[in-house]
Structure 1
Amino acid sequence: MTSLEFETEEMRPVKAWCTKGEVHVTLADGRTISAPLWWYPFLSGLDEDGLNDIELMYEGIWWSQADEGISVKSMFLGQKMPGAKEPERAA
């Protein structure tokens, strides 16, 4: 499967938001996908307003305050950003 075959009109993001621990994206075909926020270390410095100041792009989403973004494809494939470390869980 090539990148062009993966990125179709149905996979275009139409809505995106962050909750306390996850980023969520609704696609044009109605599916919603989510990933943990810790997968994207560049988001760690943003407050709630910054986390939800998201621009939709054809292939993904962009946070202007962080000057970074992620692709829908990377979310589907479970690709974490380099340096992403799962937070330690309380015992």
Structure 2
Amino acid sequence: MDKAPEITADTVVFTDTELKVHLSDGRTVSVPIAWYPRLMYGNNKERNNWQFIAGGIGIHWPELDEDISIEGIILGRRSYESKR
């Protein structure tokens, strides 16, 4: 059986309330930044300092010590970290 092609991120954009990820299959997925406390409490400079992990299967924010998988975003998985 053929394996489904892996969906990767092409670009990452923030609004005041959302993380928007443009995907390699043409879709754009938006999730509330409130789902990810480290992003929510980070400033714009920290949020916009991101890099792709493993060719786009994840996103890393070095200043915020945050890693989010594209699969998790697509499946609607939020962080279980406290929103202190």
How would you bin the TM-score normalised by the shorter chain? 0.7 to 0.9
Superposed CA offset, 1:63-83 (max 9, x none) = 111111111111111111113
Find the counterpart in structure 1 of residue 80 from structure 2. Answer: 82
Per the normalisation by structure 1, the TM-score is 0.75
Q: Aligned partners of 2:50, 2:68: CA distance in 1, in Å?
A: 11
- Kindly report which structure 2 residues correspond to 1:1-91, keeping only aligned pairs within 5 A, or say none: 8=6, 11-57=7-53, 58-83=56-81
Aligned positions, number: 79
User: Aligned to 1:44, what secondary structure does the other structure show?
Assistant: helix
Superposed CA offset, 1:18-56 (max 9, x none) = 110010111112211111001001113311121111112
Segments ≥4 residues shifted beyond 4 Å = none
RMSD between aligned residues: 1.9
Contact 1:7 1:73 survives alignment (8 Å): no
- Identity between Structure 1 and Structure 2 (%): 32
Larger helix fraction of residues: 1
Letter in 1 for 2:70: V
